[in-house]
Amino acid sequence: MAKTVTIGAHDGGSFTGYLAEPASGKGPGILVIQEIFGVNQVMRNICDDLARQGYVALCPDLFWRQEPGVDITDKSKAEWDKAFALFGGFNLDLGVEDLKSSLAVLRKLPGVSGKVGTVGYCLGGRLAFLMAARSDVDAAVAYYGVMLADHLGEVGAIKKPLLMHCATEDKFVPKDAQARVKAAVAGNSNITLHEYQGNDHAFARVGGEHYDKAAADLANGRSAAFFKQHLS
């Protein structure tokens, strides 16, 4: 079952999130972090799939401070232009605070039993990495996070399990940045990084230009096993 929930921001105001619940009505929680296209059908489908796996999944609207209710696709230049404009205007630190507020709401939902994890894609992958470092989330998964080389000073703060899916041909992450991230996280036993050779950014976005079913299935299978291990 899907519904909309309201989340209070730490500095006033409120925003919404898409919530999908398992048929049983109860399960561990997973905070789903959007790409640069808002809480669109791709994100809602991810939440619905997690609900089918037995999780309570919440995807908050992180662009609400700029424009509430963004719901666009990757199918036109106009939508890409808008997505990059929103990305450019996004306040990263406030985004993390909004995710912390969302995490607190998720933990308190009556259907959430046990632990709460997070999974993010693209911009959301960057934010999942930061949530692993800055919040009390129990486990985090980051798909092709961008600009992670800017945050390597926070690697030591990651005390809970973090799973990273990285594309070796990611057009948004230069090779030298990939190497620096890989070297930095290697020293933290809480972090597992998988590389997907020959794959480009957003290889797991169903219907996307660079979608690769084999790589997506491998990454999603690893994520499912990871959450089962750390959230049960």
Per-residue pLDDT tens over the stretch 11-58:
999 999 999 999 999 999 999 999 999 999 999 999 999 999 999 999
Does 1 have pLDDT greater than 90? no
| Active-site residue flag, 74 | no
pLDDT confidence bin for 114, thresholds 50/70/90: confident
User: Which candidate, 83, 74, 72, 188, places its Cα nearest to that of 129?
Assistant: 188
**Percent of the chain surpassing pLDDT 90:** 98
CATH number listed for the domain at residues 2-231: 3.40.50.1820
- Given 170, 200, 210, 212, the catalytic residue: 170
* pLDDT at position 54: 97
Catalytic residue among 151, 165, 201, 210: 201
Residue-range domain boundaries for the chain: 2-231
| 170 belongs to the catalytic site | yes
pLDDT at 2 over 90: no
User: pTM for the complete prediction?
Assistant: 0.98
